[in-house]
Structure 1
Amino acid sequence: MLITFDDGFLNNYEHAYPLALKYRLKLNFFLVPSFIRRGSYREEPCLSAADLRKMDPAVAEYGLHSMDHEGYDVLQPAEIAADIDNCMTALEEMGVPFQPVLAYPYGAWPRKVLQESRFFEILEEQGIRLAFRIGNRINRFPLSNRFLLQRIDVRGDEPFNSFRLALAYGKKSTSWLSPLLRALP
């Protein structure tokens, strides 16, 4: 199991990181360099480069989540390539080590067949090894596409039983089931 966090919010360091240390878990933070530089996103404090360098690399790893958090489904191929390159360069300049993995901003990528194939070529050219989306399913091996790895989206306003079922059955419950899950102990 891989536990991932998008955007680089400070609360990931304050809450998730201590729990990962305590329970010997591995975390991956997908980072947006412009948020690190700005110090916030949507009025939420973000991690600083110093915070990122403080975390134990045996516990916390970092990946790419774009330079400015623009959806890749609306950018042209050259813009996507430049965004990935700028993201890697910015993290290098900040002294933040990162893995060549990417989580799509908003889970979005170009889905038209010709655009999608060029997009995957760009990821290859940029040295990206794996890319993640929100699919709300558990990946099965062998992987059908290493650039479309699915993650289960966990939100704080959903009942814990919904999360438990997602892990047990490999997919999120449908929306009609959520009210019933909230009623369970």
Structure 2
Amino acid sequence: MLKKFVLFFALATLLAGIAPSCKVSYSFTGANISPAVKTYSVYYFPNRARLVNPTLSQSFTEALREKLQRQTSLNELTENGDLIFEGQITGYDVRPMSIQKDDQAAQNRLTISIRVKYTNNIDPDQSIEQTFSAFEDFDSSSSLSAVEDGLVPEIINKLTEDIFNATLANW
């Protein structure tokens, strides 16, 4: 495995030497960010859902900031970064999923939806506005309040991963 890794980098270095006008950038985080981009800003995501989790806005906003800090070398600005993430939480819903006898739900699904406006001030063609949703299922014998503290961080993790991939990884 190590031999393949060394061979890959040797080949990449050789190719870079042959074509010096070409720029090859590698990332182990999956981010595909222009070298001209130096900063980002994450604005607070207010909760506009009908059912409100009082800590969701803060938790999501912080999780997105932390994701960008961990997986990029960009500097965070409070506002007017080269990349701007803003939006709102538009959905926080619980719905029955699998129905068993007597029309009782065997499982419920908690879904969180977030509308994101991503602005790339360096390359405006990369900007997007999109809604992201993620969910987790839970046993219907449990109340939402009993499982919420465990489910919400898992859903936030899925959402931040999806947002990162759609905006910076160009997947």
Question: Structure 2 length normalisation: TM-score?
Answer: 0.25
Higher strand share: 2
Larger radius of gyration: 2
Question: Structure 1 length normalisation: TM-score?
Answer: 0.23
